[in-house]
Amino acid sequence: MSSVTPEIHEQYRSGPVADLAARRAYEQAWARFAQQQTPEEFCGSWLLIQCHTIGGVSDGVVVLAKPGSQTLAPVAFYPDSPRDRRHLAPIVERALKEGRGVVEPQAASQGQEPRYQLAYPVRLGGEVRGVVGMDLDWRPEAQLQAAMRGLQWGSSWLELLLRRNEDPQQAERLRLKVALEQVAALLEEPRFKESLTAFTTELAARLGCDRVTLGTLHGRRVRIVAVSHSPQFERRANLMRAIESAMEEALDQAEPVVYPPVDERRAVVTRAHEELLREAEAGCAATFPLLHGRQLVGALTLERAPGHRFDAPALAVCEAVASVAGPIVELKRVGAAGLPTHAGRSAKSLWQKIAGPGHAGFKLGLLLTLAVAAFLAVATGDFRVSADATLEGTVQRAVTAPIAGFVKEAPWRAGDVVKEGQVIGRMDDRDLRLERMKLASQREQYDRQFREAMGKRERGQAQILRARIDQAQAQLALVDEQLSRALMVAPFNGVIVSGDLTQSLGAPVERGQVLFEIAPLDGYRVALQVDERDIAHVVPGQKGQLTIASMPGERVDVTVKSVTPVNTAREGRNYFKVEATFDADPGPRLRPGMQGVAKIHVDERKLAWIWTRSFVDWLRLSLWAWLP
């Protein structure tokens, strides 16, 4: 057994195991220790050998974590006989809490030498998985240190037991669990420095470190931002400078640095870490770079007390924690930075993409953008104002209801082409014809009475009848006129642009009500709706082109005739009506009411101005409104 040194063997031969019963128990313990056995038997044999090797042990206990659990329970005692061992609980709990070996002297009775209690933690993967506690007789300081050293060396057998009984993937799960717990501590505090202090403190307690320090990279220098158990620290202290040098040493090599090294075959520079151990009076130190993607953003330095070195499992846990913490630390640092820092970082990142290696796509896109911008700044184009357009007739005649009555016939409707004099509608004239018959009968009656009065030479009565005859004749003439107007005819050759009475036959209409609107086929004008933001660029005489929605592939030349000072609101904007005329005969396919888009040529302008004028005008107006 590695824990049995020659000095301790000599102590065994002449000391506590000199009697025959103790020797037999010692030999039996070695025999059981070498056989396949349960964890309880293994720990019992180990504890018996350890107690006999150290000598002077009155009580001992081994406390280990249950497989697959974090619960600790005693698995072996020395001696085996039942007795009260509660006096070892404080020293065991202290070793668990501090994560290192501890020695406590006990008060002695008068005339007796004081006793000692010592305990040492059992680690697996950087985590405390058990404790060995003992009650010893008094001994000199050198022998007490030898006992602690023997207990430390012997605890490796318990670590071997834990590894043997552990699930093959337990170590990986343990590392992942520790990493996630540290991430939780890092994310728990919203503020940057407080979260890093909580992270380093939790990591120091979890891995049994005297101090854990986290630094971030600023340019080529490292700046310490958090120290475990120390919310406030002096940056200019020699110890802080030594830690920063150790971090820079690891970052310069872009790999973890451990001193004293675990693997002697790795060729790394450790000079700054040696200086750190001398300055801090520590036993070992390890620094792990923090990466965000492929970029170094900081470093994590861990220190342990003398006699407590980092083993391979503990270093694996530290590396896992550093790999997870790096992106989170960088994101928190970026989030906590002010606006100037963000702007500077963005400018630096942009410059690195432009001047640094790689990013071929970004550079090509930037060159194309600059080329387009230069072209737009130099090239000129046709500045045109766009407007919605509607075709209207130069003359538009309304056909109204001649009398108040009912529609009898209306075979034509909007869109139909009619000729001059063609009947396009008829009013129901039955009431008028009856009225005419009535008036005609009254006139004949008055005429007969007039002749009778003349025969009787009744001059007064004859004059009255003559007046009534004239009245009836006038009313009859009015009815005849109304009958003649009951027919609605086209005033000229044209197209009906509005009016459809085919679904309103028999409906009553009022006198003067517009029933049809007719526009000529040989005279058109274009009504443009120009946005008020563009109306200042439009003047009479400007040329343009019109595209009708029904003929999108054709362009018709137009000329601005007049700009009306009356505006109309539509869709939240104001529009001014501009009239334009055709430069040539547009052809027979055009009809009043057709809609399209017209573009009025203003002049030649820079392409950059043409494409940005709307935004620039909006910006000017907004600034004018915002400024006091």
**Cβ count near 73 (within 10 Å):** 10
Distance of CA 472 to the CA centre of its chain: 91
pLDDT tops 70 at residue 253: yes
pLDDT tops 70 at residue 2: no
Six-digit token string for 554: 């054709």
Are 299 and 247 a contacting pair, CB within 8 Å?
A: yes
547 pLDDT tier (thresholds 50, 70, 90): very high
Q: What is the pLDDT of residues 520-542, one digit of tens each?
A: 766 778 889 999 888 889 999 99
pLDDT tops 90 at residue 598: yes
Phi, psi of 336 (to 5 degrees): -85, -10
pLDDT tops 50 at residue 239: yes
How confident is the model over 139-165, as a mean pLDDT? 80
Q: What is the pLDDT of residues 395-450, one digit of tens each?
A: 666 777 776 777 777 777 766 777 777 777 777 667 777 878 888 888 888 888 88
What percentage of residues in the chain have a pLDDT greater than 90? 10
Q: What is the pLDDT of residues 560-578, one digit of tens each?
A: 999 888 888 888 888 999 9
pLDDT tops 90 at residue 113: no
pLDDT tops 50 at residue 315: yes
> What pLDDT shows up at residue 165?
63
170 pLDDT tier (thresholds 50, 70, 90): low
How confident is the model over 343-353, as a mean pLDDT? 78
Most confident range, picked from 180-194, 288-302, 320-334: 288-302
14 pLDDT tier (thresholds 50, 70, 90): very low
Q: If you average pLDDT over every residue of the chain, what do you get?
A: 80
What is the pTM (predicted TM-score) of this model? 0.42
pLDDT tops 80 at residue 218: yes
From 58, 109, 65, 114, select the one nearest 88 (Cα to Cα). 58
pLDDT tops 60 at residue 357: yes
The span from the CA of 52 to the CA of 55, in Å, is 5
pLDDT tops 70 at residue 5: no
Looking from the CA of 283 toward its CB, the CA atoms found within 13 Å total: 12
DSSP sequence for 386-419 = EEEEEEEESS-EEEE-SSSEEEEE---BTT-EE-
